[in-house]
Amino acid sequence: MDQNNLFREAYSIGVVHRIAEQICAAWDGFVAERFLGVVLPGYEDRGFGDRARRIVAGLEATLPEDFPEAAAILVRALGPEPNPESELTGFEGFYVVPYTMYVSRHGMEHLETSLDALYEMTKRFSAESEIRPFLLRYPVQTIEFLRRLTTDVSPYARRLASEGTRPRLPLASRLPAFQRDPAPVIGLLDALVTDPSEMVRRSVANNVNDISKDNPEIAVETLRTWRERYPRETTERIIRHALRTLIKRDHPGALALLGFETTGLALESWTAEPSTLALGGALTFCATLASTVDADQKIALNYVIHFVKARGERKPKVFRLPDKTLSAGGTLTIERTHVFRDYRNQRFYPGTHRIELVANGRVLAGSDFQRSL
């Protein structure tokens, strides 16, 4: 089963019937036949997102027009809260997403009722996408609501404060105000740095990684402050995960924060072969680095391919290599083979391309190569 078909099963026909049963149990006025009549025609041919939207359409056709009443029914229809010591796995909790979608579609004029409903829903899965319309329209009130959640007993509720405020949350609308000024978000994250849940701390790191794409200096300074303020056994994993984009960009502040020095390193040898290759061909590069200092060094390694684009200009793409340790006065050999194939967002056009090796933010070696016609 391919991935698209696999994800569709989060909203299988069995899940649709389960939703109908739960709402029936929560509200005597629910007409399951009407709900199923809206949702199920042509359902098996629909993808993941379309199935979720079809379930929302079924809710819209059957729930009361009065939003507070409808929200109360959906909250009563929720299943039990998961064990706060465990993480959701597989498709557990996906049935809640159409409920959160219903709230964001119909509850914008009922802020307090909507936030209370999303709070109950996020404890069963996640309301990270559907809290965002409220952040856009009611930023002050919604941030204050999320601030209260940072001390909630449920890790899923606490995670909403960190994940829902990510400026660049994948598959969700961006938050331009926080891209310009992430201070309100950082205020929330500061309360969650030492959260007992690894799930929450990882969300904190993901949020800072988002912040780093628009405000790299603020992200680095925030992480530096956390390192000074909180125990290192807590912050080091957050820092490394939060800086993954900046390390790939060879940002000096990020490299320094992780202990990657730009001095004491020399190139001893470099080869990149062949110099001409066709689509589907492989380029192998080999480099030997030498230490020029009397202490072991951490080495952050990337290689960059400057691909020729359709109009003839070149555009770099960075590929991360595993970090290494170079012993004092020693040498380190790095070898890698890159196969050139066409992908949806990266085509291998004819022309003169270039490959470079970057260590601790410094370009140490490079070679041009050709793609044959």
Domains and CATH numbers, the chain: 3-257 (1.25.40.290), 265-371 (2.60.40.10)
Inter-CA distances, 157 with 56, 92, 162, 180, 200, Å: 23, 16, 9, 26, 9
**Cβ–Cβ contacts within 10 Å for residue 154, how many?**
18
Burial 52-70 (b: 16+ CB within 10 A, else e): bebbbebbeebbeeebeeb
Write down the pLDDT at residue 113.
98
Say which residue the tokens 């049963």 belong to: 21
Rounded distance, CA 300 to CA 246, Å? 12
C-alpha dihedral (168, 171, 174, 175), degrees to nearest 10:
-80
The pLDDT of residue 175 is 97
Q: Which of 260, 296, 267, 245 lies closest to 363 in space, CA to CA?
A: 267
Tokens of 334: 């790095």
Q: How do beta strands 362-371 and 276-277 pair? A: parallel
Distance CA 7, CA 343 (A): 22
Long-range contacts of 54-62 (CB under 8 A, 24+ apart): 55/11, 55/16, 55/19, 55/98, 56/98, 56/101, 56/102, 56/105, 58/16, 59/35, 59/98, 59/99, 59/102, 60/102, 60/105, 60/106, 61/34, 61/35, 62/23, 62/30, 62/31, 62/34, 62/35, 62/38
Contact 295, 328 (CB under 8 A): yes
Instruction: Fill in the amino acid letter for 208.
Output: V
Helix (H, G, I), strand (E, B) or coil at 61: helix
- Closest listed residue to residue 297, CA positions, set 260, 323, 322, 331: 260
C-alpha 219/C-alpha 209 separation (Å) is 8
Q: Using the structure block, give the residue that is written with the tokens 């209260």.
A: 148
Per-residue confidence of the chain (373 residues) as pLDDT tens digits?
444 556 778 889 999 999 999 999 999 999 999 999 999 999 989 998 999 999 999 999 999 999 999 999 999 999 788 776 666 555 678 899 999 999 999 999 999 999 999 999 999 989 999 999 999 999 999 999 999 999 999 999 999 999 999 999 998 999 999 999 999 999 999 999 999 999 999 999 999 999 999 999 999 999 999 999 999 988 999 999 999 999 999 999 999 999 998 889 999 999 999 999 999 999 999 999 999 999 999 999 999 999 999 999 999 999 999 999 999 999 999 999 999 999 888 899 999 999 999 999 999 999 999 998 7
Q: Please state whether beta strands 282-291 and 265-273 pair in parallel, antiparallel, or not at all (unpaired).
A: antiparallel
Is there a contact between 164 and 146 (Cβ–Cβ < 8 Å)? Answer: yes
Query: For the whole prediction, is pTM greater than 0.85?
Result: yes
Cα–Cα dist 284/369, whole Å = 11
Rounded Cα–Cα distance for residues 195 and 198 (Å): 7
Sorted by sequence, the CB contacts under 8 Å of residue 306 that are 6+ apart come out as: 314, 315, 316, 353, 354, 355, 356
